[in-house]
Amino acid sequence: MNALVNRGLIIVAGPNSARLGIHFMRIAAAVIFLWIGFLKFIPYEADSITPFVANSPVMSFFYEHPAEYKAHMTHEGELKPAERVWQTGNNTYGFSEGLGTVELIIGVLVLSGLVSRRLGMAGAVLSFLTPFVTLSFLVTTPEAWVPALGDAQHGFPYLSGAGRLVIKDIALMAGSWLVMVDTARSLLTAPRT
């Protein structure tokens, strides 16, 4: 058994393992940005980010009526035509499509790091900085925490589904940092032309 474990460790610690891990992280970050960016063009996703945007002191001005969002929320998969009309008038979909465009650009830039160090560096930096915004939602968005509905476990540190979704961006931030460091090293050691 020890020999098998040692052989596995040797493979994992092999000379190309770190490079492979960086490429996997780059691809993983790109998939996250591309997939979520694409979904921002779909009403259910735009509706689901409404509490984050409406409560953000940095983003709420993109909405026409951020203080009114709670009365117009829908569940994923739920179609309420009257709420869609309100969300349209609130600029929920316009903002979401703009955000989706930014996320798609970040995803393409991150993925381009496989062939272009400079574009990849721009993507890695943006991928690293984005979680600072999303993690701020833990402070600004009441829906990030389990509400007080009778159970003893509510508020901090009890993350709701929305809060659990946001907290995962810590891993994206850490992975993007590693990609950024690897790209910076590659840019510094590349021959000048």
Sequential DSSP letters for 48-110: HTHHHHHH-TTTGGGSS-GGGGGGG---TT---HHHHHHHHHTTHHHHHHHHHHHHHHHHHHH
Q: What is the pLDDT of residues 77-134, one digit of tens each?
A: 899 999 999 999 999 999 999 999 999 999 999 999 999 999 999 999 999 999 999 9
Locate the domains of the chain by residue range: 30-189
Average the pLDDT over 29-43 and give the result: 97
Report the distance separating Cα 163 and Cα 153, nearest Å. 14
Above pLDDT 90, what percent of the chain?
79
Largest CA distance in the chain: 66
